[in-house]
């Protein structure tokens, strides 16, 4: 089998047909459905969701990751409330199987903060505490401090907003992950440029 048959970066009827043919002969169908769904989550979110629907028919070890991917696909389609639920599903799965962790503890509070979802600020605070010991990557640190900064700003805690904004900007400026063999892993990408501008304004004394 061609190794990249389940990592298609685009999607059409021909690719779908070839993928399904390969999948029929594959032993670990769940794995290939999850990887293909993850690969398409930003460019073809609706396809990603359909693949995940098929994936969830299996009781796979990586269900938490799949729920997180589902949340990302829903966000790409501006289906915010459903994305919130999907992240909570990921966290619920993690509680059952703590050896497999997703990024929901980072991404859900960030979504709450950037969306200004005030009714969920307490939940975001709970998750920030949960994630406080899991900030290995620059992106993790960035999301953690950014979430703090935005919620603090929205609740008129100016000093806390400024302090966390400064820390988030430091994390965004890091050019090395700290991992020798994966120096670019978990760096803050250009997709966060808009929120970085917001942080810059919050960091001004």
Token reading at 45: 């979110």
Dump pLDDT digits (tens) for 172-199: 999 999 999 999 999 999 999 999 999 9
pLDDT tens, 107-164? Answer: 999 999 999 999 999 999 999 999 999 999 999 999 999 999 999 999 999 999 999 9
Q: Are 109 and 139 in contact (CB under 8 A)?
A: no
Nearest to 113 by CA among 77, 74, 165, 64: 165
Confidence of residue 1 (pLDDT cuts 50, 70, 90): very low
How do residues 85-114 score in pLDDT, each as one tens digit?
999 999 999 999 999 999 999 999 999 999
Q: Alpha-carbon distance 124 to 111, whole Å?
A: 9
Q: What is the DSSP string of 10-70?
A: S--HHHHHHHHHHHHH-S-HHHHHHHHHHHTTTT-HHHHHHHHHHHTTS--TTHHHHHHHH
Q: What's the pLDDT at 7? A: 97
In a 10 Å sphere around its CB, with 0-12 CB exposed, 13-18 middle and 19+ buried, how is residue 114 labelled? middle
Domain boundaries, given as residue ranges, for the chain: 1-102, 121-205
Rounded CA-CA distance 54/90 in Å is 17
CA distance 103 to 39: 16
pLDDT of residue 205: 85
Q: Which of 173, 176, 93, 192 is nearest to 136 (CA)?
A: 176
> Model pTM?
0.93
Q: ∠ at Cα 133 (101, 60), nearest 5°?
A: 5
pLDDT of the residue at 2: 54
């Amino acid at each position: 089998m061609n190794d990249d048959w389940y990592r298609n970066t685009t999607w059409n009827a021909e690719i779908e047909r070839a993928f399904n043919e390969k999948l029929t002969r594959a032993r670990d169908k769940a794995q290939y459905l999850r990887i293909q769904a993850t690969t398409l989550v930003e460019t073809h979110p609706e396809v990603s969701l359909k693949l995940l629907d098929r994936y969830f028919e299996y009781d796979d070890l990586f269900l938490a990751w799949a729920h997180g991917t589902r949340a990302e696909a829903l966000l790409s389609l501006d289906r915010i409330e459903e994305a919130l639920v999907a992240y909570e599903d990921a966290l619920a799965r993690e509680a059952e199987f703590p050896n497999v962790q997703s990024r929901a503890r980072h991404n859900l509070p960030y979504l709450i903060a950037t969306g200004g979802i005030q009714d969920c600020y307490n939940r975001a605070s709970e998750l920030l505490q949960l994630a406080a010991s899991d900030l290995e990557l620059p992106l993790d640190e960035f999301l953690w401090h950014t979430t703090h900064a935005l919620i603090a700003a929205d609740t008129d805690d100016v000093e806390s907003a400024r302090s966390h904004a400064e820390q988030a900007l430091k994390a965004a400026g890091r050019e090395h992950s700290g991992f020798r063999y994966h120096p670019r892993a978990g760096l803050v990408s250009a997709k966060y440029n808009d929120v970085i501008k917001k942080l810059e304004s919050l960091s001004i004394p």
